[in-house]
Amino acid sequence: MNGVTHHENPVESRPFSTCVLLSEINKRDYRMTGQVQVIATHNGNFHADDVFAVAALKHIFPSVELIRTRDLDVIAKADIVLDVGGIYNAEKNRFDHHQKGGAGARENGIPFSSFGLIWQKYGLEICDGNQEVSNSLDKNLVSSIDAIDCGYVEGVATGISLSQTISMFNPTWQEDGDFDACFDEAVAFASRILTRFIAAASGGVNARSIVANAIEKASDPRVIVLEQYTPWKTTVLNLSQDALFMVYPSQTGQWRIQTVPVELGSFEDRKKLPAPWAGLSDKELQNVTGLEDAMFCHNGLFIAGCASFENTMKMAKMALDY
């Protein structure tokens, strides 16, 4: 056999899985039994697409056996084959894209690499059935790795890309490194990144629902109140033309009022906080506002706060009337 076989403990193989309950791992192990026992990919030099493809599969098949080889007889016996073998057939779990004609492309023209092909079939399951999260991952992570691997884009002009970072796990020409051990290190790194991308995408989807509900329930459409801090800018800008101020609790239990920008990333606001508040804090701000627990107002007039919710809402009314 030309490849190296890795027998992995289902928990130890997932150093990135601190956010995943042990019960989930056990459940996935049970589901995997009799379905996927061996994954094969090529040995030697590796790239982000095969590394992330393996990391993605380990998310749902954590105790799978991984073989890195170019031995066609070994490859033929594997349950899943990726980035090697010259075949793309999702039904038969063959996910190569190096064959003549490739393995297809997205509607936006970005071709599929092995990571994208794996994501097409298993992405929804990896994201626990949440299609929005799966789509977000494809847009923000999977497709960019596919594009670079397939030469659809000319890399990154400035800085270093995630694909380049993964490639740096390969031994250099000056090192007597073990490619398979280095591959395992890269997979562990990629697995952690994938987990955080899923968490971020899930948080974004959940935040959109919470903020949309707050907009709908607002007694005054110009002031949106969140019961806990939730990322709100994208949803508010998409759903409300009327919102001027957001009111929400800080992590320390005090309350904040923040202006709504005219567009994402802009420093221009739909309406500023009152100019006399600029740069004031504590007693000075309390004297100007008449609110005994007023705490501060940023000099840029985009955020201010009080200790209590009631007085922060009074701030909002003053700001509306100013």
pLDDT confidence of residue 173: 80
Biggest CA-to-CA distance, the chain: 82
Kindly give the confidence (pLDDT) of every residue in the chain, 322 residues in length, as a single tens digit, with 9 standing for 90 and above: 344 333 333 323 333 332 333 233 333 333 333 478 999 999 988 999 999 999 999 999 999 999 999 999 999 999 999 999 999 999 999 999 998 889 999 998 899 999 999 999 999 999 999 999 999 999 889 998 998 888 886 433 444 578 888 888 888 887 877 898 898 999 999 989 998 889 888 888 889 999 999 999 999 999 999 999 899 999 999 999 999 999 999 988 899 999 999 998 888 999 999 999 998 999 999 999 999 999 999 988 999 999 999 999 999 999 999 9
pLDDT confidence of residue 203: 86
Q: Give the end of a domain, one of 171, 204, 237.
A: 204
Residues 184 and 264 in one domain: no
Residue 186 Cα to chain centre, angstroms: 18
Residues 41 and 184 in one domain: yes
Using alpha carbons, select from 154, 87, 150 the residue that is nearest to residue 116: 150
Q: Specify if 145 maps to a domain.
A: yes
With H, G, I as helix, E, B as strand and everything else as coil, classify residue 38.
strand
Q: Specify if 33 maps to a domain.
A: yes
Residues 59 and 104 in one domain: yes
pLDDT confidence of residue 153: 66
CA angle 212, 144, 106 (to 5 degrees): 80
Residues 189 and 94 in one domain: yes
Q: Specify if 209 maps to a domain.
A: no
User: Alpha helices, DSSP H only, in the chain?
Assistant: 22-32, 48-60, 72-77, 114-126, 131-137, 143-149, 162-167, 179-217, 233-239, 282-289, 309-321
CA distances from 232 to 197, 264, 316, 320 (A): 19, 11, 17, 20
pLDDT confidence of residue 160: 54
Residues 35 and 11 in one domain: yes
With H, G, I as helix, E, B as strand and everything else as coil, classify residue 51.
helix
Q: Specify if 211 maps to a domain.
A: no
DSSP for 224-279, written as a single string: EE-SS----HHHHHHH-SS--EEEEE-TTS-EEEEEPBSSTT-S-BSSPPPGGGTT
Helix (H) or strand (E) holding 67: strand 65-68
**Residue 4, beta-bridge partner list:** 68
Q: Specify if 263 maps to a domain.
A: yes
- Both tokens of 206, joined, read 């959940």
Residues 35 and 183 in one domain: yes
- Both tokens of 75, joined, read 């490859």
Residues 67 and 196 in one domain: yes
Using alpha carbons, select from 169, 166, 1 the residue that is nearest to residue 76: 1
Residues 101 and 59 in one domain: yes
pLDDT confidence of residue 240: 96
Domain count, the chain: 2
pLDDT confidence of residue 267: 86
Residues 284 and 244 in one domain: yes
Q: Specify if 44 maps to a domain.
A: yes
User: Which pTM was predicted?
Assistant: 0.62
Q: Give the end of a domain, one of 173, 204, 235.
A: 204
Q: Which domain holds residue 167?
A: 4-204
Residues 161 and 306 in one domain: no
Residues 230 and 194 in one domain: no
Residues 200 and 222 in one domain: no
- Both tokens of 305, joined, read 């706060």
Q: Give the end of a domain, one of 204, 239, 257.
A: 204
pLDDT confidence of residue 83: 95
Q: Specify if 176 maps to a domain.
A: yes
Q: Specify if 289 maps to a domain.
A: yes
